Amino acid sequence: MSPRNRQVASYRMVLPSLIVALMLVVGLGRPADVRAGSEPQPVAPRPSILDPGDVPVFAYYYVWFSPGSWDRAKTDLPLLGAYNSADPDVIAQHIRWAREAGISGFIVSWKHEARLDAPLALLVNEARRQNFKLILLYESLDFQRNPLPASQVSSDVEWFLATYGSNPVFDVWGQPAVIWSGTWKFSSADVANVRATLRAPSKVLLLGSERSAADYAARSTLFDGDAYYWSSADPQQTPGYQKRLDDLAAAVRTTGGRWIAPIVPGFDARLVGGSSVVSRRSGDTYRASWAGAVSSGPSALGIISWNEFSENSHIEPSRSNQYTYLDLTAQLTGSPPFKPETQILPDVIGPPADAPTDSSELGPAVATREQLLSWLVTAALLGAIFFSAVRSRTRTA
């Protein structure tokens, strides 16, 4: 046999073994393909920056989005793209993200109309599947910020209680909790009538949205607590910020009510007619607001918001902020470090045309730098063995 033929024969003998070895290396070294719905591997929790103890953490959640909603009044967009609030995969991803960051539940904005009933049903089902809690935020003001008829408030909430009142996802403090948004626009007589119709507190805990201690104290017998949606205040610059929270909290506690303290990461609603701007300060605003909310002695914390993108108060992963605010939330709740690489929902639902396409931005399951380095070193060693074997066989032949 000629030297060339002997060399070819040697290649043929060694090459299959090399291919098998490489397949084993790739198979063993490849990271698990983490699909939507899988749970992240447990890791040791890190210390909380501000430990709220047993106080549950909620985030205000909006279910009114359709793909067309994202074309107007937005300076930032979700990492998930132009999603529809009635997409069950989106809802499932939101809850997974929230749970991983240490959030106990959502305060879901709703009134009784078809476009909101459908996503509410999906949200309730998914929340139950993932052991996630919900509080209802009833939107009692119309688009012009005028109050709806008190009779409609009663009938809408009655429908909600008949449909979901016994669902365990709403069992936060025993009875379902309903925050009545815009109570300051209603007379005390109207509130009393609605309360009687709903049979609060035996059937429902009816929380107001009063904005000062004096306002709440004047009508404390009509409510079972208060949730102040104070999204446009700056915890570092608004005069009397902490005193306002502390005084309102004290007024609520005086009559044994539930106090949901607001937390804001920032605010800018100029594209929807607002004028106030609260800078995020690279997370410092969020930290300061969280500290103020915790010190007020709340029954629950209410992050404003998960996904109010028009007011730029969102903590949902976005193009501008990426996962910054869920990572920070995980720190503040004392949860394990947030791991965005375990989330690959766009792989499942398919990103919209204008969604980010960079794999590192979407967070798919990709190899770490350490794994890639290991593969390269192993491949180099196998290559050296291969050529050494070929050279040896050629010489002995």
Which pLDDT tens digit goes with each residue over 373-392? 454 545 555 555 555 554 55
Q: Could you tell me which residues are beta bridge partners of residue 318?
A: 78, 322
CA distance 378 to 394: 24
pLDDT of residue 340: 74
pLDDT of residue 306: 99
Kindly report, residue by residue over 247-258, the tens digit of the pLDDT.
999 999 999 999
CA distance 154 to 140: 10
Kindly report, residue by residue over 336-373, the tens digit of the pLDDT.
999 875 454 544 333 333 333 232 222 333 333 444 44
Q: Could you tell me which residues are beta bridge partners of residue 335?
A: none
Q: Which residues contact 2 (CB under 8 A, 6 or more apart)?
A: none
Which of the four pLDDT bands, split at 50, 70 and 90, describes residue 46?
A: very low
The pLDDT of 215-232, averaged and rounded, is 98
**Amino acid in position 331:** Q
The pLDDT of 298-302, averaged and rounded, is 98
Per the document, the length of the chain is 397
pLDDT of residue 22: 38
For residues 293 and 282, is the Cβ–Cβ distance under 8 A?
Answer: no
Tokens of 53: 């103890």
Least confident interval from 7-11, 122-126, 144-148: 7-11
The pLDDT of 302-320, averaged and rounded, is 98
Least confident interval from 135-149, 296-310, 365-379: 365-379
Kindly report, residue by residue over 152-166, the tens digit of the pLDDT.
999 999 999 999 999
pLDDT of residue 3: 46
Q: Mean pLDDT of all residues in the chain?
A: 82
Helix (H) or strand (E) holding 328: helix 324-333
Kindly report, residue by residue over 226-239, the tens digit of the pLDDT.
999 999 999 999 99
Is 282 strand, coil or helix?
helix
C-alpha 20, offset from chain centre = 44
Which of the four pLDDT bands, split at 50, 70 and 90, describes residue 54?
A: confident
